Amino acid sequence: MSAIDVRDLLKAAGQANSVTPVPSPLPLGEAEGYGDASPPPRSPTVAPSPWLSPVVLAGCVRLAEFCGLLLLGFGLHQALLRGVVPLAPSYPAAILAVTLAALGLFQASGSYRIGAFRDLSKTAIKLATGWSVAFLMVAAAMVMGKIADHYSRIWLLSYYAAGLGLLLGSRAALAAFVRTQMAQGRFDRRTAIVGGGPAAEELIRALETDGNSGIRIVGIFDDRADERSGTHVASYPKLGNISDLVTYARHTPVDLVIFTLPISAETRILQMLAKLSVLPVDIRLSAYATKLRLRPRAYSYLGGVPLLDVFDKPLADWDVILKGLFDRLVGFVLLLALSPVMMAVALAVKLTSPGPVLFRQKRYGFNNELIEVFKFRSMYVDQCDTGAAQLVTKTDARVTPVGRFIRKTSLDELPQLFNVIRGDLSLVGPRPHALQAKAANTLYDQVVDGYFARHKVKPGITGWAQINGWRGETDTSEKIQRRVEYDLHYIENWSILFDLRILLKTPRALFKTDNAY
């Protein structure tokens, strides 16, 4: 959750300029239209996977080692003692105790960091020490409890040797995998630096000196255009101002933004943050060069560089996986359950008006990406409005009789379950709006400050705004403002339980059709 509320930030800053996205990405390593300088050559990079981050990788390694060590213990018992010494509760207890003690020691020694995965030479000693100490702890407990004679020494020695071999062998394979992925930029946090001058240069030198920061600096962005901010800082190019950074992040993945501005520049920082609040990125304020000293717990760290947290991505690491699995599993179940209804609607659309059953429409998705959304066609073919430039009204002659019913009951939205399974949409999230959607004849992003902040997560079939009555026609600016407020509340307070709550309340909300035409 963000350290600063987006709505309060926009109010404090007094403005939030929206940037229209450009759908086609440009390659990193070119000037990309920002500034006059091209970045120096760097190793190839690829878009980071939302499913596999350093945090997720560490969790997977923990789980794999836990399961591997457990299975190894039981497997050795079956291979060495089957038919001779019964398994009994004592052996499972010893296996579990050794495994948990070892994983706890690995965690305490920093063996689950991305740097430890990459460099086996430094981690091997920690693994061997942790595994050995875990065995000594359990052996001491056996002696103190006078139960050591209940265990086979052959099994204990075999488990120790095989476990150490398993750990070192699997970590060697992991190190090769991580080095390959890092060479392609997979686990790097692509970082933009905001602000130039000596403060930015000091920060960059500190990050480059620390080999455990795990970041890749993509460039410098500064709102100053005078001699205080040159074209390069510490060999990295200045790519533009804050508005350029918003556009850049629409084209190229950016994970982290670090401000090097002094905390005393409050107004300037707030104005910049208001513009950047529309992006799904982590935002940090550098505390490296500041004279302000807080308690160590007040900071987060990139290696040894202290930072103050300002914004966090709404969804990251395990949250992305959890929501993605939830969407696809529940979406698939709903698709199966509602398939008879969808077939009936498709038949009614086909039989009552000529033209295709499905209507495809471009809309804004996550981070303002253009996605194609499926709906059952509710208008006559020759009057379909793909850009939604004209709002549908209560007596709109463009809507077919069947279309009027399925729009009012939201049955026209059911094909979007295919979008959910495909990964374009979530079951729950801010509704994706059409490109030319308007309130009071004004485009949405021109009505609401920070409108695009609702695109920091994937859009959804249903949402917090919809179940609270803010669905249907947006003929006044107040309606879209209220809808965006509810969307931002959802983004800032997301949880799987919140999604379940919204899904369960959606059928009831569909009966409130006053504004749905």
Least confident window among 32-41, 107-116, 287-296, 489-498: 32-41
Question: What's the mean pLDDT in 504-511?
Answer: 84
The mean pLDDT value for 164-191 works out to 90
Left if phi > 0, otherwise alpha if psi is -120 to 50, otherwise beta: which for 195? left
Among residues 93, 274, 41, 317, which one has the least CA distance to residue 187? Answer: 317
User: Which residues are registered as beta bridge partners of 28?
Assistant: 30
- Residue 393: pLDDT above 70? no
DSSP readout, 428-450? ESSPPPBTT-EETTEEHHHHSTT
Packing angle, helices 477-492 and 6-13, rounded to 10 = 130
Q: What is the pLDDT of residue 472?
A: 67
Read off the pLDDT of each residue in 356-363 and give the average, rounded to a whole number: 90
Query: What integer pLDDT is reported at residue 291 of this predicted model?
Result: 56
Is the model's pLDDT at 27 over the cut of 80? no
CATH architecture of residue range(s) 6-49+188-311:
3-Layer(aba) Sandwich (3.40)
The Cβ of residue 425 has, within 10 Å, a number of other Cβ atoms equal to 27
DSSP state for residue 382 in the 8-state scheme: G
CA distances from 70 to 63, 85, 96, 99, 224 (A): 11, 18, 7, 7, 59
pLDDT digits (tens, 9 = 90+) for 187-245: 888 899 998 888 888 888 888 887 666 788 888 998 876 565 667 787 888 888 888 99
Spatial distance between the Cα atoms of 202 and 221, rounded to a whole number of angstroms: 16
Is residue 253's pLDDT more than 60? Answer: yes
Contacts of 239 (CB under 8 A, 6+ apart): 31, 32, 34, 35, 39, 218, 219, 220, 221, 245, 248
Task: Look at residue 233 in the predicted model and tell me its pLDDT.
Answer: 81
Instruction: Compute the 3-state secondary structure of the chain and give helix, strand, coil in percent, each to the nearest 5.
Output: 50, 15, 35
Mean pLDDT, the chain, integer: 82
**Both tokens assigned to 136:** 């000594």
The three-point CA angle 453-422-462 to 5° equals 50
* The pLDDT of residue 391 is above 90: no
Place 37 in a pLDDT band, splitting at 50, 70 and 90: very low
Closest to 130 in 3D by CA, of 157, 155, 111: 111
Of the candidates 256, 259, 253, the one whose C-alpha atom is nearest the C-alpha of residue 281 is: 256
pLDDT (0 to 100) of residue 294: 62
The pair of structure tokens assigned to 152 is: 């086979």
| Higher-pLDDT residue of 398, 345 | 345
> Using an 8 Å Cβ cutoff, are 323 and 496 in contact?
yes
The pair of structure tokens assigned to 237 is 């190019």
Beta bridge partners of 285: 259, 308
- pLDDT band, very low/low/confident/very high, at 23 (cuts 50, 70, 90): very low
- Least trusted range by pLDDT, from 129-143, 197-211, 218-232, 413-427: 218-232
Identify the weakest region by mean pLDDT among 67-81, 235-249, 260-274, 340-354. 260-274
- Those residues whose C-beta lies under 8 Å from the C-beta of residue 36, and which sit 6 or more positions away, are 231
The 3-state DSSP class for residue 102 equals helix
pTM above 0.85, yes or no: no
CATH 3.40.50.20 in the chain: give the residue spans.
6-49+188-311
Q: How confident is the model at residue 38 (pLDDT cuts 50, 70, 90)?
A: very low
For every residue of 8-37, DSSP letters joined together read HHHHHHS--------SS---BTB-TTSSS-
DSSP, residue by residue, 251-279: HS---EEEE-S-TT-HHHHHHHHHHHTTS
Cα dihedral 153, 81, 105, 100, rounded to 10, equals -140
Query: How distant is the alpha carbon of residue 406 from its chain centre?
Result: 34
**Per-residue pLDDT for 489 more than 80?**
yes
Q: What is the mean pLDDT of residues 150-171?
A: 94
Q: Are strands 189-194 and 215-221 parallel, antiparallel or unpaired?
A: parallel
Distances from the Cα of 293 to the Cα of 198, 284, 290, 315, angstroms: 19, 16, 8, 30
Sorting pLDDT into bands at 50, 70 and 90, what band is 338? very high
Among the residue ranges 13-17, 147-151, 187-191, 273-277, the one predicted with the least confidence is 13-17
CB contact set of 415 (below 8 Å; sequence gap of 6+): 342, 358, 374, 375, 376
Residue where the block lists tokens 């935002």:
283
pLDDT at 69 > cutoff 90: yes
Asked whether 185 and 48 are in contact (CB, 8 A), the reply is: yes
Asked if residue 134 has pLDDT above 80, the reply is yes
**pLDDT, tens digit, for every residue of 77-87?**
999 988 788 88
Q: How far apart are the C-alpha atoms of 235 and 249, rounded to whole Å? A: 21
Helices and strands, number each (H, E), in the chain? 16, 14
What per-residue confidence (pLDDT) applies to 36?
37
The mean-pLDDT minimum among 150-159, 356-365, 442-451 falls in 442-451
Considering the chain, what percentage of its residues have pLDDT values greater than 90? Answer: 39
Structure token digits, residue 259 = 């401000």
Q: pLDDT at position 325, please?
A: 94
Query: What is the tens place of the pLDDT at every residue in 491-500?
Result: 999 999 999 9
